[in-house]
A and B are shown apart, each in its own frame.
Chain A
Amino acid sequence: MSALTLEPILKGRRSQPHMLIETLLDVQESNGYVSTEDMKIISRELGVPEIEVYRAANFYKALSLKPRGKNVITICAGTACHVRGSNLLSSQIHGLLGIGPGETTADGLFTLEQVNCLGACALGPVVVLNGEYHDHVTPAKLKALILKAGGQEKQAPGKKRTPVKASARKEAAACANGKKRHSSGKALKS
């Protein structure tokens, strides 16, 4: 982002070093990551040495120094979700998309993130896909979500089928339509 587009984020925070984390979070939110360019601008405008900006951007998990994929899958790895099998979900993603936590697929379609707890423990395992919360997620549900978001199965070593079988796609579509999950942590209209 240029200094101009960062303007609304920087407004009211200039020369206030303690606003660093808030500023970085806002940049992350609006841009999906914090670029080197952004860090330079923030350093200058807030009056924080560039190395401190970089250190903070590197330290906090919510901040990413690399662009993320079009779809961000967040798997909750809290204790309650772990006990209910959230590791199956990471395994499913690794099998389907070939990525681990913090990685993005080569086509830039998916990024997998793992968080320690989303605070929806009663509904575990919980997965957030592009800001929408999904509860009691099973590997099958997750597969349906990924296929719906445009994912293609990575060719598994033992299988001789092309990316996604027509029947599997249909099944996934039916599953995704029938049990459409949405809404979300988005604002509640009241």
Chain B
Amino acid sequence: MPTVKNATALEKLSSPESLEALRKDIQARSRQTKITVTMCGGTGCCASRAQDVMDALRSEIKKNRLEYDVRVRITGCHGFCEQGPLMIIDPGNVFYCRLKPEHAADIVSRTLAGGEVIEDLLYTDPVTGRKARTESAIPFYRAQDRQLLSLNKLVDPLCIEDYIGAGGYAALAKALSGMTPAAVLEQVKKSGLRGRGGGGYPTAKKWAECADAPGEEKFVICNADEGDPGAYMDRCLLEGNPHLVLEGMALGALAIGAQHGYIYVRNEYPLAVRHARAAVESARAAGLLGGNILGSEFSFDVDIARGGGAFVCGESTALIASLEGKVGEPRPKDVHTVVQGLWDKPTTLNNVETWANVPSIITNGGAWFASKGTKGSKGTKIFALTGRVKNTGLVEVPMGTSLRTIVFDIGGGAPEGREIKAVQTGGPSGGCLPLSMFDMPVDFDALREAGSMVGSGGIVVMDDKTCMVDVAKYFLTFLRDESCGKCSTCRLGIDRMLEIVTDITEGRGRLEQLDLLTDLADTVAAASLCGLGKTAPNPVLSTLKYFEEEYRAHILEQRCPAGVCRSLIEYSIDAHACTGCGTCARACPHGAISGGKKQPHVLDASLCQKCGICISSCKFGAILVA
């Protein structure tokens, strides 16, 4: 590629001025590029065969001898994973989606060489049927305010020049040319930034406590152990724009007086691990990490550590134990980690998204950040919108946006004309909120008051095919497996709660168990040490609060309204609807369906495991659930 990518290796930058000169140089070179094809190479698009599309595209470009005019930029996640693989072609910002390798020839000959927009590859609005030519014309993107996510498409995560060209490390340079640590802290305080990892603790307060803590040696940690199922914005940020996170950490370290940082990243995110490692190396080479950054007195370096797949390690003290090479168990927090953290030194731990917000706060000022959001929750927040909704993906909106806007305007509502009945926010620590509460503004305080929490920002949409008792059971099973076992209330309490909920889903429930469930929940919340135990009862309490009638239907009528709980449903085949195609009989892994060719099939209830595979295979709706 003829662009900045292969520009001479970066020399160590010795001053803020040399960074600015480099930025100008990079931008000038970028302008030389006639056409830039940006392809999403995030985990999501890769699962949708993006690599094949890229390979095909490259070979077509070569065939058409366009190598010198076209730069193919592979970036991190663009957030609209549902439509992947995605491509943006500049000039024109033409947005193509759902690409296949066989499209490559057309894209190169017609769009890149001919400047023509291929209608078939554009996004079609499922509601209006209209084609959208650019990202900004798509409702999913239009209703968002993508302060952090929009950077992803400008940056190849393996290319520090891209990040610098897009204005990267300017905040660090600004802070190093004349701002005192206290001034950096002051801007963060003004911004009202609160921790994006779940707790919502004011970031500046945490930093100030750490800065004031006695001791010369201090640490900053980036928590990228995004264990909450249903949330993946941290993966997206670290994978797509690792330098943004590093710059945020460097600014934090400057404010606090830390010399060393760690990024603790989930091993389940191999791409994020690789990109973070590469980013650290290239930042070191450029003199943006290491000794005397940009010629200043400030020295700061970062190491990457991988997690071992334990949910509890998202908790600060457990994470620190894991970083020290120990079993990830939390400890009491009577002395906070800001005073005694990693190796008993003052440590500031923030999550990926929190760090990623810092550079723009320093560049634009705290007041700019505080101008977005609600009274108590400032700025924008990334949510992972998933589950039974049309447009799944990452959504960045100002704090205080209503659930209705997120689920219906951006998410497009439920697929197949189903009815949305609830959302689950905040992962296993959060709760379920019913449709009647969708007008509530989403911020830290409103959600907590409603019995849920922002958590790390997962929003899982549920429709009438989702059983809320089963959801409670799912989270209890999850939490039972992930409880480290240190506190007996968490270890045993969750187990007993799961026992009761399992009884209810299997038709053995009794009404008085509901009170016992509430009692147990209160005890677990009150007497557990860390956030995992303290918030573990939320999924049960919130479903009990808003969906008690579903619990009652299970107990009193032995009925699962959503048709999910296996013990309470029976499968059968509608002989009139069955065409005898045999698909279900072949699909059934348990051999419970039999029948002759073109004859109505029969289902043997004694063999049926009620797994539902036949339902998903039958095209005629002949499998009945009662």
Give the B-binding residues of A (Cβ under 8 A). 16-22, 24-25, 46, 48, 52, 55-56, 59-63, 77-85, 87-88, 91-92, 94-96, 115-124, 126, 133-135, 138-140, 143, 153, 156-159, 168, 171, 181-190
Contact = CB atoms under 8 A, between A and B. Distances in A.
A18 B325 contact: yes
Contact of B388 (A84, A95, A118, A140): A84
Contact of A79 (B82, B271, B424): B424
A183 B587 contact: no
A124 B274 CA distance: 23
A21 B586 contact: no
Contact of A91 (B52, B462, B594, B613): B613
B232 A92 contact: no
A185 B46 contact: yes
B599 interface: no
A25 B611 contact: no
A21 B613 contact: no
Interface in B38-65: 41, 43-44, 46-52, 54
B343 to A, nearest CB: 8
B311 A116 contact: yes
Contact of B74 (A24, A59, A79, A190): A190
A15 B616 CA distance: 55
Given A52-B326, A187-B274, A120 B232 contact: yes
B308 interface: yes
Contacts of A80: 229-230, 384, 386-387, 392, 458, 460
A116 B54 contact: no
B325 A21 contact: yes
A60 B613 contact: no
Given A60-B328, A159-B591, A120 B44 contact: yes
Contacts of B458: 79-80, 121
B542 to A, nearest CB: 14
Contact of B462 (A83, A157, A184): A83
A177 B519 CA distance: 55
B203 interface: no
B269 interface: yes
The winner among B74, B308, B388, B474 for most chain A CB atoms within 10 A is B308
Contact of A115 (B5, B309, B328): B309
B411 to A, nearest CB: 11
A83 B422 CA distance: 12
B232 A119 contact: yes
A190 B50 CA distance: 12
Interface string B329-372: 00000000000000000000000000000000000000000000
A123 B82 contact: yes
B230 A139 contact: no
A60 B305 CA distance: 14
Nearest to A117: B229
Interface in B602-626: 604, 607, 609, 611-613, 616-617
Contact of B51 (A48, A124, A157, A183): A183
A59 B328 contact: yes
B151 interface: no
- Which size class do B's interface residues fall under? 35 or more
11 contacts: A62-B268, A79-B229, A92-B589, A95-B609, A119-B266, A123-B44, A124-B386, A139-B587, A156-B590, A182-B51, A185-B270
Nearest to A115: B268
B402 interface: no
Given A78-B229, A182-B49, A183-B49, A122 B82 contact: yes
Contacts of A120: 43-44, 47, 81, 232
Contact of A117 (B52, B228, B604): B228
Given A62-B268, A158-B592, 15 more contacts: A16-B325, A56-B327, A59-B484, A62-B267, A62-B307, A117-B226, A119-B268, A121-B229, A121-B231, A121-B384, A140-B617, A156-B588, A190-B72, A190-B156, A190-B159
B393 interface: yes
B322 interface: yes
Contacts of B308: 21, 24-25, 56, 59-63
A18 B219 CA distance: 15
The winner among A55, A83, A171, A184 for most chain B CB atoms within 10 A is A83
Interface in B206-227: 226-227
Contacts, number: 234
A25 B591 contact: no
A116 B227 contact: yes
Interface string B444-462: 0000000000000010111
B604 A158 contact: yes
Contacts of A184: 46-47, 51
A18 to B, nearest CB: 4
Nearest to A48: B325
A79 B387 contact: yes
A168 B607 CA distance: 21
A84 B388 CA distance: 7
Contacts of B84: 123
A185 B271 contact: yes
Contacts of A119: 43, 226, 231-232, 235-236, 266, 268-269
B271 A18 contact: no
A62 B308 CA distance: 5
A180 B465 CA distance: 30
Contacts of A78: 229-230
A181 to B, nearest CB: 7
Contacts of B49: 181-183
B81 A122 contact: yes
Contacts of A158: 590-592, 594, 604, 607
The winner among B230, B322, B323 for most chain A CB atoms within 10 A is B230
Contacts of B612: 85, 88, 91
A147 to B, nearest CB: 12
Given A21-B305, A48-B325, A133-B43, A123 B48 contact: yes
The winner among A21, A81, A124 for most chain B CB atoms within 10 A is A21
Contacts of B408: none
Contacts of B384: 80, 121-122
The winner among A19, A135, A181 for most chain B CB atoms within 10 A is A135
B546 interface: no
B427 interface: yes
Nearest to B593: A158
Contacts of A140: 587, 613, 616-617
A88 B328 contact: no
Contacts of A190: 5, 41, 72-74, 156, 158-159
